[in-house]
Structure 1
Amino acid sequence: MSQDDVVEPVTAYRAVALQSTCRAINRAPSTAAARDMIRAAIDQVADQVEATQRFVGGLRLVVLPEYLLTGHPIGEPLPEWCERAALDPDGAEYARLAELSRDSGLFLCVNAYELDEHFPGLYFQASVVFDPRGKTVLRYRRLNSMFAVTPHDVLDRYLSIYGEDALFPVARTEIGNLAAIASEEILFPEVARCLAMRGAEVFLHGSSEVCSALLSPKNVAKLARAAENGAYVVSANTSGVYGMGLPAHSADGGSQIVDYRGNVLAKAGQGESMAANAELDLAALRRMRRTPEMMNLLPRQRFELYAPSYAGTSFYPPDTVRPGETERGHFLSTQRAVIDRLAADGLI
């Protein structure tokens, strides 16, 4: 390693959950037009990151909302969404985002649909983090989804290719140990816990959700995941989703940063905003994690008590997706079969 490769750790810095507008590609007249919209979305991100950096001193981390570049599928067959919306991990779109990270000197977390050469005809929803040198330091693929393929749906083959470490990756960086949680996965405590077990200190949460002043399930979960794991949550929501028929502001506002005790440090209203920015104090987080106290919950976990229940129980089954043979209705019918089985067993 050369001297130029040595990076000094930072124990306090500012992060922003950037609240941006999503312009969905579903109604684009052609694949070429859809790809043009993706490029325009990346240009929008570049403009907003550059402007935000001028106003937020000490900024080191930017988290973008869920599927900001494309919106989500609304019934398109899996191969069609692959063609119109999914990014090639080695393609031009990711290269442009890596360039943005390098030019701005920031860590950038983007959530997008992406292809995988080992699974033709399928796509995964991924949260990817680029470092200030433009290097990909984290690739997390969403493990729980209602209507999309996840690694769990092709688990045996996925593990044979990538290994178990790929399921819950944590990036050890100069701004702390980063991990990603995608969208509604904030409601699944096991995801955050498995990441915390691997050292995660900052959860990067890209979302597109209904904003509410009430304690919605996701808002409750953000506070809970932070407090129960002693970790920061940087949660970026969309500022409206246009072009897919839904009222555009159904998913608008409430981007926030939550500290390791479950306190909201900053929160945006509605509209495009950089208001959800705050200082992340890793030194304070680490002091708390290393101090014996009642609310330091992570080192108090007694996993041996729970392991037999998890190991001996299966609800939603793995390996149900076959490339080229799966329609979107498969996911709903699979969940219905699970519900019927659990009801028959008297578990729900």
Structure 2
Amino acid sequence: MNQTALSRRALIGAAGGLGLTAAIGVSGTAAAASSGQPRDVVLNTDGRYPVAPLTKESWTLGVAQCRSMPVDLNRVEASRRENLNHMIGLIDAAFAFGAGPDLLFFHEFPITGFGAGWTRKDVLKVAIEIPGAETEEIAKKARQYGIYIVFGSYARDPDWPGHALSITTMIGPDGKILARDWKARNIKGVFGGEIELFTTTIYDVLDRFVEMYGRDAILPVVQTPIGNLAMSSVQREPELFRALAMKGAEVILRTATGGFVPTDIAATSLYNSVYTAIANNAVSPGSPFFEDSNAGGSAIYGPDGEPIAIAKSPNETLVMARIPIGAFRARHRQPTIHPQLYMDVLNGYTPRFPPNLFSTYVPSDLKDAGRYLRDKGVWK
């Protein structure tokens, strides 16, 4: 791909995959797998977007702010199971006093945690498979309570041997996996050149990803009977969330671990007139980091960018809010933008790091990633 003169169609696709998931209740690689064909990008021209019929006019979103404990590399299966059991216990706790949420949303790594100094081999060792034993256990709880459950995790995929992935998964009330969405990109060039993140994102293998799953899978939207849902663990790239809103996302579920910028989350709602939730980790006693490092702040924001529910402490807690999806959808449309004013600028922009850098080499650890990427930036 020419990095200095992108066509309008290529730019729009690469910047956000401004497409519409055609399969109701399926997104990302799941959509491609169910259809057998990669999907191209299509947008409605009247401000509307495809939806599934609603089964509820209003529903409850719950954000589970929970600990993040790294799997013990000396006892991987046992400690991963301990994390899973803790997560399952919190699902039960959400219903301890009667009616719980219709959708329960966890942070980026409730099952595997994030380990200081982990190599790619370590991540692949602690990672789960989707579907797998862990998703089966979570699916049982989804069926028991009749809820959607969303969570992030390090994951392995047999279609991508050797690649350590960060996947956000959505399981429906029937226990079926509705989405398993890759992280769209990692930020590069912000760690002084000494280290870089080594998990493989869509941007890191963009051409192959599109060949396998289609452009529509880059930023998928899941059309469910409680609304159009989108998931992401990306921070500080508002264009991605604008693209999701243009595709019809009504509720955007954003995961974090180790902190986030509240303004970034609020702006997602304000600029796109959508609901946005952020799930961060809680204080985590016994982790290899300071227990309260950037913990807490999990929240749900309304379409005006104001918080409608926010964690009152950095400890483990449940944040809940009602989403009046019926009334919202009746008046909601795609964001109003004027691309003719700035498309020339976007067409002329050269990203600091090109895509596909992990297509031929996958770094072994943070330092190796820093070494490998040090001379791959095209900015001077």
Q: Indicate the TM-score class for this superposition, using the shorter chain for normalisation.
A: 0.7 to 0.9
Partner of 2:167: 126
Matched, 1:186 2:235: yes
Which of 321, 335, 345 is 1:309 aligned to?
A: 345
The alignment partner of 1:278 has SS state of strand
Give 1:142 deviation, angstroms.
0.7
Partner of 1:293: none
Task: Encode CA deviations 1:251-274: one digit per residue, 9 max, x unaligned.
Answer: 321111111111111111221111
Partner of 1:18: 64
The alignment partner of 1:62 has SS state of strand
The alignment partner of 1:203 has SS state of strand
Partner of 2:314: 270
Letter in 2 for 1:319: N
Task: Encode CA deviations 1:175-224: one digit per residue, 9 max, x unaligned.
Answer: 10000021xx23110111111111000011121234xxxxxx61001110
- Cα distance change, pair 56–234 in 1 and its aligned pair in 2 (3 A): farther
Unaligned 5+ residue runs, structure 2? 1-51, 188-196
Matched, 1:41 2:83: yes
Question: Which 4+ stretches in 1 moved above 6 angstroms?
Answer: none
Whether the 8 Å contact between 1:120 and 1:323 is mirrored in structure 2 is no
TM-score normalised by length of structure 2: 0.77
Which of 219, 228, 232 is 1:177 aligned to?
A: 228
Which of 200, 208, 227 is 2:249 aligned to?
A: 200
Task: Encode CA deviations 1:279-324: one digit per residue, 9 max, x unaligned.
Answer: 111133224425xxxxxxx542123433343333332211111466
Which of 284, 296, 301 is 2:327 aligned to?
A: 284
TM-score normalised by length of structure 1: 0.84
Give 1:58 deviation, angstroms.
5.8
Task: Encode CA deviations 1:41-75: one digit per residue, 9 max, x unaligned.
Answer: 22212221122123363620111011111222433
Give 1:333 deviation, angstroms.
4.5
- Cα distance change, pair 58–327 in 1 and its aligned pair in 2 (3 A): closer
RMSD: 2.3
Matched, 1:238 2:281: yes
Unaligned 5+ residue runs, structure 1? 1-5, 211-216, 291-297
Whether the 8 Å contact between 1:86 and 1:113 is mirrored in structure 2 is yes
More helix by share: 1
- Cα distance change, pair 267–46 in 1 and its aligned pair in 2 (3 A): same
Give distance in 1, aligned partners of 2:372 and 2:285. Answer: 30
Whether the 8 Å contact between 2:230 and 2:252 is mirrored in structure 1 is yes
For 1:254-269, what aligned pairs fall within 5 Å after superposition?
254-268=297-311, 269=313
Whether the 8 Å contact between 2:58 and 2:324 is mirrored in structure 1 is yes
Shifted more, 310-319 versus 249-258: the winner is 310-319
Q: Percent identity?
A: 25
Which of 112, 119, 128 is 1:77 aligned to?
A: 119
Whether the 8 Å contact between 1:24 and 1:242 is mirrored in structure 2 is no
- Cα distance change, pair 87–308 in 1 and its aligned pair in 2 (3 A): farther
- Cα distance change, pair 337–302 in 1 and its aligned pair in 2 (3 A): farther
